[in-house]
Amino acid sequence: MGLMDVLSQYAQRPNHPPPHVLQDFGRVAQEAPPEEVGDGIAEAFRSDETPPFEQMVGQLYERSDPHQRAGLLNEILGAFGGMGGGLAGGVLGGALRNAVRGDRIPAEHTNDIPVSDVEAAAAEAARRNPGIIERVSRFYAEHPQLVQTLGNAALSIAMTQMARRRRI
């Protein structure tokens, strides 16, 4: 079964995903262009059928390795365009203040940043700059194994969006 065959299952029955959505997403993420995968992830982040964006980001952050965490935090920081220093207190606030001065958040500092701070930063970033959803989606399109941890509902929404994009 080819990529189009897999995606057609989601286009034909968007509210009734097949039981093998996890495997399907893994396969599609390997074969589809990253921008298509990113569009699907963005749709899942925006959906009323999934938890709020910041909670999903927190879940992904929790399961990410330090380098992926740093990448995510730097994407969130990019949404603030130099205004991120006053975003949060604690370790994340300090990391953001340093990053605003031109530094990037290093991987070795991410284990000290609590998920709740990341969720707060993601929520504020989305409020200030809705484009953060696309930035984070593109970032995680490069890490589809993590996206698979979001569960069947999110993956089904992502697959349905990818099918729509291809006009299946």
pLDDT at 128: 87
Vertex 141: Cα angle to 168 and 35 (nearest 5): 50
Do residues 159 and 7 make contact, with C-beta atoms less than 8 angstroms apart? yes
Query: Distance between terminal CA atoms of the chain?
Result: 15
pLDDT at 13: 76
Q: Taking the CA atoms of the chain, what radius of gyration do you get in angstroms?
A: 16
pLDDT at 94: 57
Which stretches in the chain have pLDDT values below 70? 14, 81-103, 168
The token pair at 135 is 């930035």
pLDDT at 85: 47
pLDDT at 12: 83
CA distance 22 to 45: 17
pLDDT at 93: 60
